Amino acid sequence: MPDRPLAGVRVLDLTNVLAGPYCTYHLMLLGAEVIKIEIPGRGDLARVLGPDPELNRSKLGASFLAQNAGKKSIELDLKNEPDRATFTELARHADVLVENYRAGVLARIGFPWERLQQLNPGLIYCAISGFGQTGPMSQAPAYDQIIQGLSGMMSVTGTRETAPLRVGFPVADTVGGLSAALAITAALAGRRLDGKGRFLDVSMLEASLSAMGWAVSNYLVSGIEPEPMGDQNATAAPSGTFDTADGPLNIAANRQEQYETLCRLVGRPELITDPRFADREARKRHRVELNRLLNEALKRRPGREWERILTAAGVPAARILTVAQAVAVDQVAGRGFFADIPFPPGVPRQTVERSADRSLRVSGSGVLFDGEPLTPPAPPPVLGEHNAELPELLRRWREARDPRLADDAAR
Determine which one of 13, 44, 144, 173 is catalytic: 173
Nearest-angstrom CA–CA distance, 233 and 230: 8
> What residue spans of 223-348 are helical by DSSP H?
256-265, 270-273, 280-285, 287-298, 303-312, 323-326, 330-334
Residues 6+ apart with CB under 8 A from 250: 231, 240, 241, 242, 316, 317, 318, 319, 320
Nearest-angstrom CA–CA distance, 76 and 87: 8
* Residue 173 designated active-site: yes
Closest to 291 measured CA to CA, from 219, 28, 299: 299
Closest to 107 measured CA to CA, from 131, 86, 137, 134: 134
- In the sheet that 198-203 helps form, which strands lie side by side, from edge to edge? 72-75, 33-38, 10-14, 96-99, 124-129, 198-203
Strands 198-203 and 124-129, by their bridges, are: parallel
Torsional sign, CA 119, 202, 171, 333: negative
Is 1 within 8 Å of 70 (Cβ atoms)? no
For residue 254, the surrounding DSSP H or E stretch is none
How many Cα atoms sit within 13 Å of 37 on the Cβ side? 21
Closest to 26 measured CA to CA, from 160, 126, 119: 126
Q: Which residues are catalytic?
A: 173
